[in-house]
Chain A
């Protein structure tokens, strides 16, 4: 195995292990998170404790790169709207 691959593998291994140990019995799938993310985003934007209010959404966003990317973009739009 090349050094580059070992390094790459190590980076992703840390991410994988973090996700593995953070796995919950009950998790939302992408569409279930998508269904609620507008509410979650507005709570985050308003400075409320969205993670505690909607822990399953938070957990999904922590583990799903695509949903997280879309959520971050939505938050950017909300912030731009307010400026």
Chain B
């Protein structure tokens, strides 16, 4: 168990390079066994500095940075056996810390936003008379933003499930992060990615079946 109360708080400035220059074996050794408290204190310095750099430009409270750092250290230590040595240890550790921080920031940012209300807004964007009974125009006649938009909306209606449409609108149009959408839909990020992948494949297949290329469609936008 990590005893954070035994890790002395960081005082003064330490160079990021010091931590980054250590070997992987040294890091792993310092985080296991008798020296682990010292190793954890040093890792904390490296992670905290990395988060300050990686999250630069965002308004984040120091308390939040400390929370992210602590959570990251827990995950790093829990997964030490999973470190394959295919990078510097610190790169791997920074990756984990940044994932922790970004995930939490996204959750906080979108906490109050209801997926249902976002999707109701999407109805307005999607409320174009579908061209369901109109034959697909030949490629050289595909022109105009309205036509492209109508075509894509029609295909989304015909080729995708409701869940795929909702996920696509939430992520692509409203910019809601996938992990937030996934949580609100009661699934996980990976499953949502697969759902969106299947949706993209269906749309791609439908567009290609109509002999439409990306260039044809973009020329109309």
Contacts and interface: CB of A to CB of B under 8 A. Distances in A.
> Chain B contact residues: over half helix, strand or loop, or mixed?
helix
A23 B149 contact: no
A5 to B, nearest CB: 6
28 contacts: A8-B173, A10-B145, A10-B221, A13-B149, A13-B152, A15-B172, A18-B214, A19-B172, A20-B204, A21-B207, A21-B213, A21-B214, A23-B200, A29-B193, A29-B194, A30-B189, A31-B189, A32-B190, A38-B95, A64-B178, A65-B175, A65-B177, A66-B178, A70-B99, A73-B98, A76-B54, A77-B53, A80-B16
Interface residues of B, number: 50
B8 interface: no
Nearest to A2: B124
Interface of A: 1, 5-6, 8-10, 12-21, 23, 25, 27, 29-32, 34, 36-39, 41-42, 64-66, 69-70, 73-74, 76-78, 80-81
Given A8-B173, A42-B91, A77-B98, 13 more contacts: A1-B125, A6-B145, A10-B221, A13-B149, A16-B172, A17-B152, A19-B172, A38-B87, A42-B88, A65-B177, A70-B99, A76-B56, A78-B94
A29 B91 contact: no
